Amino acid sequence: MRMLVVCAVSEEAEAVEAGRTVRHELDVLVCGVGPAAAAASTARTIAENGQMGRAYDVVVNAGICGAFKGRAKIGDVLIATDSVAAELGVALPWRFQPIDEIGFGTNRIGCNTVLTVAVEGVRGEILTLASITGSDGLAANLAHRHPEAVGEAMEGFGVATAAQQAGLPFAEIRTVSNYIGDRDVTHWDWGAALKALTEAIREL
């Protein structure tokens, strides 16, 4: 099984490479930050490899993320049940209306949980945003809107969209470096998150 693992930055890609085992036939792509870069880079890579006779069987988005307090802890592994584009819709004065409600598509792509069945961690929705949540108030609002969400990142829905349009199974695995809303980096632990990411890839 040939796997494309998509990471936003080189540090995440290095952690993925460190978790590679003999059973893994995988390529690691550094796509850049954000859903647009993730979707474009993933789609291009899938197409180019398919043309060269090296088609992928599955696509995985892997990297670090923020977690909602009370739903996961720093250093935890998060396994997505769904990748959700939390900003895709209409920001009404009194509530956020997901794009699903207005008939222009969906802000949710289901993940193939069979791919991650051997990975131990916290399972739930992982949100994709183009803007990192920067206050406790915004984090609380987001948590209220998405009671099944365990974390937020910036690439998952973009990678999922490219995989879905190519007809490929998709999974998202994240490891927690910080809590959503906390912008004080002295409270963050990138080392623990990257170490956890390496272990999660070994289990994949």
User: Domain limits of the chain?
Assistant: 2-203
User: What does the pLDDT average to over 154-176?
Assistant: 98
User: What does the pLDDT average to over 150-172?
Assistant: 98
Is the pTM above the cut of 0.75?
Answer: yes
- Confidence at 120, pLDDT banded by 50, 70, 90: very high
- Confidence at 54, pLDDT banded by 50, 70, 90: confident
Averaged pLDDT score across all residues of the chain:
95
- Confidence at 99, pLDDT banded by 50, 70, 90: very high
What is the pLDDT at residue 199? 97
What is the pLDDT at residue 21? 86
- CA dist 126 and 202 (Å) reads 21
DSSP code for 43:
H
- Confidence at 128, pLDDT banded by 50, 70, 90: very high
User: What does the pLDDT average to over 35-48?
Assistant: 98
% of the chain at pLDDT higher than 90: 86
Both tokens of 153, joined, read 């990142």
Residue 22 predicted with pLDDT over 80: no
Distance of CA 75 to the CA centre of its chain: 16
- Confidence at 182, pLDDT banded by 50, 70, 90: confident
- CA dist 30 and 12 (Å) reads 8
Residue 52 predicted with pLDDT over 90: no
User: What does the pLDDT average to over 3-8?
Assistant: 98
What is the pLDDT at residue 53? 84
Q: Which residues contact 74 (CB under 8 A, 6 or more apart)?
A: 67, 176, 177, 178, 179, 188, 189, 192, 193
Q: What are phi and psi of 161, to 5 degrees?
A: -65, -45
Amino acid letter for position 163: A
Grouping H, G, I as helix, E, B as strand and the rest as coil, residue 29 is strand
Q: Give the pLDDT confidence of 55-79 residue by residue, as tens digits.
A: 999 999 999 999 999 999 999 999 9
What is the pLDDT at residue 145? 94
What is the pLDDT at residue 23? 77
% of the chain at pLDDT higher than 70: 100
2-203 CATH: 3.40.50.1580
